Amino acid sequence: MTIHELQENIVKEFEQYGDWEERYKHIINLGRALPAIGESIRTEKYKLSGCQSQVWINAKLDEGKIFFEADSDAAIVKGLIALLIKVYSGHTPDEILYNPPYFLKDIGIDKHLSPTRKNGLGAMMKQIQMYAVAFRTMLNKVN
């Protein structure tokens, strides 16, 4: 599926939840289902500086596609991370860079992405794009 289709699916998925409580419950469950990251990733090296919650992220390039793994100590942030991974993991750098995350706004949780909120999620999205830029540069050099 393309990043666009994946985002559309999430928007549809969230339409079934009426109120905030239901939406957050769903986000928390998504976080719980996210595979645990290794202890070696849960370290300062992979930590994003955020004000309110801690976020760790790592990325690997495999056959031109980027795969992300990430975690947070806050359940809601972890759930939002799970959504970002669902959308962006397994895509090429160009695909990632040309498809910004509009679904967060559509499901009404874009306030978590605002830079002033300092919760690490905005930093995480930026980091995903930075990885894409870095891997694209690397791929261009190889070719």
The secondary element (H helix, E strand) that includes residue 119 is none
| HSE toward the beta carbon, residue 90, CA cutoff 13 A | 8
CA dist 7 and 62 (Å) reads 23
Contacts with another protein by CB under 8 A: the residue count is 15
Tell me: does residue 75 bind another protein (CB under 8 A).
yes
Tell me: does residue 2 bind another protein (CB under 8 A).
no
Tell me: does residue 25 bind another protein (CB under 8 A).
yes
CA dist 8 and 137 (Å) reads 29
- The nearer residue to another protein, 6 or 109, going by C-beta atoms, is 109
Contact pattern from residue 107 through residue 126 relative to another protein, giving x for each residue in contact according to CB under 8 A and a dash for the rest: ------------x-------
The catalytic site residues sit at 51
